[in-house]
Each structure stands twice: as structure tokens, then as C-alpha cells.
Structure 1
């Protein structure tokens, strides 16, 4: 399974089989008795709009697990649910929510039920270099009585993995069609309910696109916790054969069915809407603008209104309402708020691990073969992938802040700022949000420890991802704060040996990492060694801004006292 990302496929590494027995619409009658009766022939534009509203509501809700969200007022269908618990990790969540919505609205639902690595036998289909081929499909049976919906949702959780998203975006097969398709890069296409797939083994759902062009996403994790953040550079752009980054569920319809007396569709076959008939289908995210061969994606260029950009700036420009503008002080507040959300989600994940008592058990003699993609206790309760994304968010905030200062120096037209002390104003916004964000944890003695974003910055590379270590180390404690930790000499040695792994923000899913303490300690270290790197990138935004402000004040000329001057 994918460490704090998405589950692995236990049945096979080469082929996975999945065989499962404000809304514009009121719940279908079948939703009230737990049965899934398909009464609608197709996913219409109105259904797709209702799907978007459904996901937008869940994304905005104050809930931290899928079960909480579906039982919250954000879900208009909650009163029709049988007594059950909803759960999913990141790969499952888009499928589970799409299936749930289809059930509640009497819609057809189908899925890729067998995937095979295009690379050949013996390949882990979650990380295949050439993507996966679809070799079988399945769908919800269409019967007059209907079928039990909850077992289908639970079946999705048990078998779906990120391998489902890792297939060629150019495929347009009417029989072995893909569940999703590649959309245009604009506000009309990238809507709530759009999937954001990271080829390093993570999937999220878009739930809002801000007027500034920032894309808000939420995702589930193996411990069933939810996190919310902005889509950033941690979502790697690759070629079409791997399916990154954006995917949308393909509309389907039932053809050749008969309608029973109760209105249910019986029999028939599932027919997809083909790429050519999808208004927003596009290979733009691979081919670039102006477009090149999508398989030559590495040579793609990104030009908007005559300006050359990197992909992520181009995406932001395309998603902005109007011209791309940066309001740096507002951006600082937004980045800080996003990081605060990430930290609260991490707190929830660590609390689950501590609540299970994993820190009180003996660690294995070796790390998993890959700490980012594994199974069992490590997958459920470790946080290396989550922590890597958190570190990337801090680095992006630092890099963006440096860019804002540079843009201000040259009076860049995209920077909207009317003040005369950008460094000071950014520092003030940072401090404001830092005071508003409090992360609390109970230490091993049961006492509450309160941390701020500033505290996290100072210990970012000390946060332990290892579930076998005490909660103080999970939060990077030192000195007096660490005194309540009950870890013995062995776990302390593991913590020190993992330091270089904590320094690495790039996730390497294809590198062997099953090392012992001794092997970690003696190195060598480097991005592709599986042992980590000697130092993490600079992330101290406050320190950078304080230094700028101090230099500006030192350089300012002394002004004579106007009262004392004759």
C-alpha cells in the first residue's frame, strides 16, 4: 500500500482485478432502502453540475474524515443513508464519492476492473514507467429490484488503487475506455470534482478554484483522515502515458436497456462519451501552448498572451479570473492558511497512530522496501509522503516570497502592491497568520504542547514520520519538550539515523529503501540512494523577511529632527 498515500494492490503487482457485485436532484427512491436502482439513462450536464456542487460542499465543510463529511450537513443525501461507515484512502475517494453520488441519483456507474502494466510482467502497476493498459471493465448491475449499494462502495475501497489513474490519456477505445479523460486547462473545465493525480502515488479532488487562479484540493489518506491544501508543484507533470495531472470522470450512458414498471433500467450496456464528443477534452497539459506532440511533453512550451511561462505559472494564469495578478500580502495569508490546514490534518493523522499505541511497540529491524509505498502498519500510520508534501508547501511559500520581492524590485506589472515596504508588510501578514494558527498535541505525560507555524519552521526537518517513535519526536521536540518521551536507545538511534531521510522533500517511489540502522548511518546520501540527503532546502520565510527589513532599516539615511533643525 502507499505510505500515507494510497493503497497498494495486494493481489498482484502486474494486474489488479476489481470485481464488485443544493443539489439539482432529490435522492432516487432506491437511495432510501440501500438499493441501487438505475433509473437515469445517462449522466447529463445537469447531473455533472450537481456533482460539482456536491464536491464543492464537502470540500468546504469542517470535517476531517470522509465519514464525517458524508454525515455532515454538507451532504444533502445523508438522511437517506443506511447505518454504515464510509472510509477511503486517496485513490478510493474519487471513485467512492462518484459512486455514492451515482447511487443517490439513480445513475449508472462503471469502472476499470483489471489493469496491466504496459512495462510488462513483474512491474508494480502503481509506478509503471509506461503506464497501464485496461484489460477488463465492470459496472453496477441494472436490475428491476436493484443491488445493495454499500457493498459496492466498500468493494471500491478494498481494490481500487492509483494504478487506475495511471493510463494513457490519448486512449479513445469504445470498449476498453478509460474512466476519466484529460480536460482543458481553464476555469470552465477544471471544476469541483476534477481529479488531480500525482504520479508519485497520490490523488485528490478539486473542490474550488479561486478567482486568483489557485486550485483548492482535498484528499483522503490510509488512516481515513482528510487534508485540504492548494495544488502545487508537488503534483508532477509527466507524459500522457502516465495520466498526470488533471482527469475528469467520463460521462456514460446505458444503451439497449428496458424499463421496468418501477422505472428501473434493466439490462443494456454501458456506452461512454468518446473524447471527440467531450466539449472540454484536451491534451493541452501534455502538448503545451502552442501544442507539440503530447508524447514530446518535455519540449512543450507555455505561452499566454505573448508571455512565456513555466507550466505552473501558465496554469495559474489560465485559471485566474481575468489577467493573472499577484496580490502578495493576500497570497502570504493564503499560503499560511493552507499550511495551517496541512498541519491540522497531520495532527489528526498522528493522533490516530498514537491512539492505536503504535509508538509503544518495537520497530522492525529494517525500514520498508520503500517508505513511501508499502503496506501494513507503516502504510496506515507513518507520514513520510504527507511530510514531504508539507515541506514542499513551506518551500513553495519561501520561493514565492523571494519571487515577490524580486518582482517588486523591478516593478513587475503582475504584482499588485501599492505600499513602499513589501518585506515589512509580508512579515506582518506572516506574523498575523502565525498567531492565528495553533497546533496542539498531548505529550507522553498527557500535557498539552502548543506549536505555531514558526515553531514548525524551526523543526521542520525534525518531524518524525516513523509511527514507532514517541509523539514528541513525531513533532520534532528537543530539550525540555523531549524529556517526556519514553523512547529507549534503539528508537533514539533510529530517529537519528532517519535524519537524512527527513531532509528529503522529493519522494522516490522507485528506489530501494529497506535499510537497517547501520546501513542508514554509514550512507552514502543523495536523492537516489534511498538514504536521504544531507540538508533540506531553505524554508525560513520569517528569517528571510526579517533580514530584508533589517538591511533596509540599516541602509535608510538618518533624517534630522525637523523640530531641532533651524
Structure 2
């Protein structure tokens, strides 16, 4: 007689009505039906399988879709709404949750998790919550710094030890408070061949559509994101959570955040040193069982066991190849950047349509700056209510990108880096299209560009610049200045001020949006100083002048930040889009 491990009863009894027909149908549709029995913080009834990770990917992608195209409440949803709205959270649907799933997390625990959230803890919470609801095992590591006295968020490497295991944790609340509460961005900074490396939370993932799924992670120098969607163009989209008191959950629309992979062999003494940045897949735990399907232990999967889930070091090998050769051979083409390679591998379309892509991307870019305006208003209210915020000058463990307290909450150097990168990503994408046009002219769908009479790469470059400028002139946002009045800026205005937007929360909204000091827009704005750790108060205009270098950066720094005596000239500044893409004006040879 067949045996059904989860129910521990003969199949005959099931057919006689031990469970409902609805439950049987749900089990039949379940990609990973219950197969084991265990306890701990919650009942364990399933193993992680490749089919389960596809189910998890579907759940994450649905959250993203609702965050981007749902109702106003869904687009602005924070953790509690995201988990309790049955239209957002597929796990609230019994047919998706599956037979033997666990009930919704208690409301009080959801609220306590909300108050813990930041970008790192959000990446720890989502898979743990899913594991709980689907009755899967879960483990989260604790890490210590590999460098004495260096913060785990910026150390050269970290060492995982101990951690929190759902099988041995005494309760749901204790598990989540420990597993999420102790998680920090430094959890990702574990070298592949380092001490206790197989206790890490993630491993690098293969760059293909079968393995790089929603639910994977992207890590770059303290910035943690959940991969939430892969478009038909091969673009990667992410979910993130802010550190503000409101703990906003928002989307990153674009692949500009992907990068920073260390080329394999960068350190002559350790070929894998630093190879923890980039795209990662969760190190799914495995439940060991006895002959009756009872769980006896939950442990990490080894690197070898993670192969079927996508573990691969190719990111670092490809980055090395790109570094050495400046291109990669891929299907008869030569992508000249990791972004180009990812697009080629992840796309499902045979052609790309620049006009449609540029229009959509400009809309997304505007949304990124609308989010910035909401943040600036909250920051300004905090400064008015609670006083000035200390600039982390010349500190060993903090800098302007990675600090603690109110500076971490209300300054914007990191998110401004992301927005600059998002802007420049459009330029890089255009260059990708231009390069592909030469390699494979029919790869470019000219719909919407017919009036430009495109025959050469130079023609395509000029047409895309013109399209972008039309959208930048059309799209605008309103910000509220320090006097409560509305000021309108187009995307073209913001582009012109790209390196002028202040990240200092002590500055009034006018300066946060880069208004020139001698303009009517800035006239009458307050000029609060920026306080420094030793009590010195830097006058606003001088602080702004000395922060110019940091406003030009397109990557976060992990070293000490300065203000007094800071250089204000002599550093490279990246050309803006028109200048970058306009350099293709020489490529006039006809391709069509």
C-alpha cells in the first residue's frame, strides 16, 4: 500500500475522506508537496528543491508586480500591508500556500519585524517568512569580522559562525528576532574559501535564466537588494527597504546596481579574496530525516549540493576575462560589459526596441526622483523638529555612506549614487544598442524611430539622444521648498543639476535639489550649518562647496569621509548622457 510521508497514513484513508477534495487538489498542484515531518520554531513539512525555488520566485515577482502596477495602497505598501493584503501576498491564497502550510505570522511579530527593517534585514526576512509559511527549514548565520576592530559591514572579509536554525529555535518569535535582528549587510562578506565559508547565507549564482531567479540577492559594499523580476529584455529589477523610520519598501528599476564583482585572482595570495560581491543565490538548508521521514537535523547545503540551485563562480571568472580582454565571446557576439552579457543571457526577445525602452525607462527614472522628493521632505521635517544632524567626518568606523543614527536615516549619499547610476545606465544601455546594431543590425527594432532615417551607428545614437531629450523635457516633478511653495523641475533640469543635488540632510530642500545660490529659486532659503563631531559648525555654503567630490561619485566609498580641507577640484567627473552617447558621431558607415 502506498505511503504518504506527510500524513503518515495509507493512501486509502486519504481517498476515504481523511482530507478534503480541495486539499487533495491543492496538493496535486503543489510543485513540492509535503514529504517530511519536523518541528522547532514551526512545523517543517517540505524540503527545498529547485521546484520550490521556482515557487518562491513566483511569490517574490508577484510582490514586485503589485508594488509597481497595483493600487496606490499596494505601491506604497510597507511590510504589514505587503504581507496581509491577499492580493499582494500569494501565500494568503490556500492554493498557493499548499497543503500543510503554516498560518499567517502573528500581527505583533509582523509589526516588530517592520521596525527592524533595513536593506540587509529585508533580504533576510523575505526568504525566512516564505520558509515559515511553506513549512520549509531555514537558517541564518551570524558573522564576525575577519579584521580585528573593523566593522563587519566594511571589513575585508567576515567569518560565519553559529546562527539561528528554525529546527532548534524554541519559538517563531525567537527565531525571527534572532535571525532577522542579528542579520547585517556584513553577512554577505564571506570569502568562498574562507573559514566556515559553507556556513554562509548565500553563494554566487550562475548568470542564466534557469538559476538567476527572483529571490536571488545582489550585494555591493553594504547595499543589499532582492532580485524581483527579470524582463524580456534581460533587465534585472529589485526590491529594497529603506532605513528611514517609515521603513519604506520600494523598487529598483534597472540593472545599474549590478556590478562591483571582483575579478578572480585580484589578490595574488588568495584568488577568491573579495569574491562575495555581485549576484547571489540563497544557500538553501536541507533537512536530514530518518527512514520514516522524521527530521533529525537541519543543516546548510554544501557548495557541491548547491550546484543544482545555481552555485557558480563564473561571475568572477567572466569579470577577470572582461578585465583582461575588454570583451567576452558569447554566442558569436562580443559583449563589452557584464551588463551586456547579462542582458544577452537573460533576454527572451530576439530584438530590442530602443524607442519603447527609452520611453519606459524615463518614466521609471522620474519615479526614482519622486521618491527622493518624499524622502527630502521627511528629512527636512526631522531637522526642523530635532535639530541639525552631525556629519560623520574623519571617523574610523563610519563614513557618509555607512553610518549610524540620524545621518544614516536622513542623508542621501548612497541613494543619490544609485540615482546617478540609474541615469547613466540609460546611457550605457544606448551604447549597448549601438554596439549590437553593428554586430547584428536586425537585433534593433526601429519602431518609433522611423522618422530619423537611421542607417549608421551615428544615426542611431543621435536618434536615441533626441528621444531621451523629448521625454526629459516632458516629464517633471514638483518639490516643496523651505517656504512651503511648489517648485517644478523637469528631468532635463535634474539632469543639468546631476552633480549639484545635495545629500546633506541639514540643507534646505532648495539645495537638496541643487538650486543655484544666486537664483530666484534659492532666494530666501535658510542657511543652517552642518555640525561636525568635534562641535564645529560648518557654514552651509562652505559645507556644500566641500562636498562637491562626494556629489560626483557613482559608487559608494568604504573609507573615511572628510569635510574640512576636502579637495574641490582635480577629480574626474563622468560626462552626462548626451556627451557620452554623442561620441558615436564618428561611426557613420552605413549598416542598413
What's the TM-score once normalised by structure 1's chain length?
A: 0.76
Alpha-carbon distance in 1 for matches of 2:583, 2:194: 52
Higher relative contact order (CA 8 A, sep 6+): 1
Q: How does 1:110-509 map to 2 (within 5 A)?
A: 110-117=139-146, 120-129=147-156, 131-142=157-168, 147-149=171-173, 152-169=175-192, 176-198=198-220, 200-223=221-244, 224-225=247-248, 226-232=250-256, 235-238=259-262, 239=264, 240-242=272-274, 243-256=276-289, 268-277=296-305, 278-279=307-308, 280-288=310-318, 302-310=328-336, 311-321=338-348, 325-357=351-383, 361-364=387-390, 367=393, 369=395, 370-401=399-430, 404=433, 412=441, 414-417=443-446, 419=450, 420-421=453-454, 422=460, 425-427=463-465, 429-431=467-469, 433-434=471-472, 437-478=475-516, 479-488=519-528, 490-509=539-558
Is contact 1:227-1:341 (8 Å) kept? Answer: no
Alpha-carbon distance in 2 for matches of 1:94, 1:366: 27
Is contact 2:141-2:179 (8 Å) kept? Answer: no
- Residue 456 of structure 1: CA displacement? 0.9
Alpha-carbon distance in 1 for matches of 2:143, 2:223: 20
Alpha-carbon distance in 1 for matches of 2:312, 2:278: 12
Q: 1:90 to 1:298 in 2, by over 3 A?
A: farther
Match of 1:49 in 2: 54
Q: 1:133 to 1:464 in 2, by over 3 A?
A: same
- Residue 464 of structure 1: CA displacement? 0.8
Q: Which of 69, 73, 76 pairs up with 2:82?
A: 69
CA offsets, 1:389-425, max 9 Å, x none?
2112222323443564576689845433373154565
Q: 1:388 to 1:138 in 2, by over 3 A?
A: same
Q: 1:136 to 1:464 in 2, by over 3 A?
A: same
Q: Which of 563, 568, 583 pairs up with 1:515?
A: 563
- Residue 97 of structure 1: CA displacement? 0.7
Q: 1:480 to 1:319 in 2, by over 3 A?
A: same
CA offsets, 1:455-490, max 9 Å, x none?
210111111101111112111123222225222472
Match of 2:17 in 1: none
Match of 1:106 in 2: 135
Alpha-carbon distance in 1 for matches of 2:347, 2:465: 26
- Residue 75 of structure 1: CA displacement? 1.5
Secondary structure, aligned partner of 2:520: helix
Alpha-carbon distance in 2 for matches of 1:111, 1:36: 13
Is contact 2:59-2:89 (8 Å) kept? Answer: yes
1:536 aligns with 2:573: yes
- Residue 340 of structure 1: CA displacement? 2.2
Q: 1:409 to 1:247 in 2, by over 3 A?
A: closer
Alpha-carbon distance in 1 for matches of 2:242, 2:504: 16
Alpha-carbon distance in 2 for matches of 1:472, 1:80: 45
What's the TM-score once normalised by structure 2's chain length?
A: 0.73
What's the Cα RMSD here? Answer: 3.8
Is contact 2:118-2:243 (8 Å) kept? Answer: yes
CA offsets, 1:264-318, max 9 Å, x none?
x77x3213333323323221112239x98xxx98689732113333322112111
How many matched pairs? Answer: 492
Secondary structure, aligned partner of 2:400: coil
Alpha-carbon distance in 2 for matches of 1:96, 1:283: 25
Q: Which of 63, 75, 83 pairs up with 2:107?
A: 83
Secondary structure, aligned partner of 1:288: helix
Contiguous gaps of at least 5 residues in structure 2: 1-25, 34-39, 68-74, 93-102, 265-271, 455-459, 530-538
CA offsets, 1:147-189, max 9 Å, x none?
133x54344453211211111235797x953222222111111
Secondary structure, aligned partner of 2:445: coil
Larger deviation, residues 224-233 vs 451-460: 224-233
Secondary structure, aligned partner of 1:246: strand
Larger deviation, residues 359-368 vs 216-225: 359-368
Contiguous gaps of at least 5 residues in structure 1: 1-21, 29-34, 527-532, 553-566
Alpha-carbon distance in 2 for matches of 1:39, 1:179: 20
Alpha-carbon distance in 2 for matches of 1:177, 1:439: 47
Q: 1:102 to 1:427 in 2, by over 3 A?
A: same
Secondary structure, aligned partner of 1:254: strand
Alpha-carbon distance in 2 for matches of 1:360, 1:138: 37
Is contact 2:257-2:418 (8 Å) kept? Answer: no
Q: 1:466 to 1:234 in 2, by over 3 A?
A: farther
Is contact 1:228-1:338 (8 Å) kept? Answer: no
Alpha-carbon distance in 2 for matches of 1:403, 1:258: 55
- Residue 206 of structure 1: CA displacement? 1.0
Is contact 2:204-2:280 (8 Å) kept? Answer: yes
CA offsets, 1:18-63, max 9 Å, x none?
xxxx99779x9xxxxxx95223242234432221112111112233
Alpha-carbon distance in 2 for matches of 1:59, 1:353: 26
